[in-house]
Structures are given as C-alpha cells and as structure tokens.
Amino acid sequence: MGFIERLERNIARLEKKIEKEQTKIDQLREKYDSKKITKANFNIKKKQVESRIHSMNSRIRVLQGGMTKEKKHQEEKAIEKQKKKEEKEKKKK
C-alpha cells in the first residue's frame, strides 16, 4: 500500500498548492481593486497563475488515474491468489 499512499500524499500536496495559487489570484484582485496595479498587469499575472493551477489539476488527474490502476491491479492480484488457494485445496482433496 506504500505506492497508493504516496500518490495520495502527492495529490494532497498539489491541492494545497492550488489553494495557495487561488489566494494569489485573490490578492491580485485586491491590488487591482485598490488601483495599485493596472488591469493589463492584473490580467497577465492572473493568466500565469491560472495556467499553473491548470497544470497542477492535470497532474492530479494523472495521479488519480495511476491510483485507480494500482488499486485494480491489487484487486486482480488478490483474486488470482484466491484462485490459486482454491486450486491447492482441490488438489489436496
């Protein structure tokens, strides 16, 4: 289960980073509203932050896909083990 736990940790870490990036967008909006930066500057910085968020979301989706594959693999392994166990019991009888 170490691999799945590591994937879950990475997903949680990326979700925290996304939250931080969202706060950066909020801070930019506050600066824009208080007229400290221009609208063009705000839009440029906002697009940069949103592209980082988008890339992190795609990484999360990839990690979630890997997690489901690993869980499926483990289930198949358990089923295979069970079948082998049943075959051994049949041979003993």
Q: How far apart, in whole angstroms, are the C-alpha atoms of residue 64 and residue 68?
A: 6
Q: Which two tokens stand for residue 75?
A: 């289930």
Average pLDDT estimate for 62-84: 93
Q: Which two tokens stand for residue 62?
A: 């990839």
Q: Supply the pLDDT for residue 56.
A: 97
Average pLDDT estimate for 50-55: 97
Please state whether the predicted TM-score (pTM) of the whole model is above 0.85. no
Q: How far apart, in whole angstroms, are the C-alpha atoms of residue 41 and residue 7?
A: 36
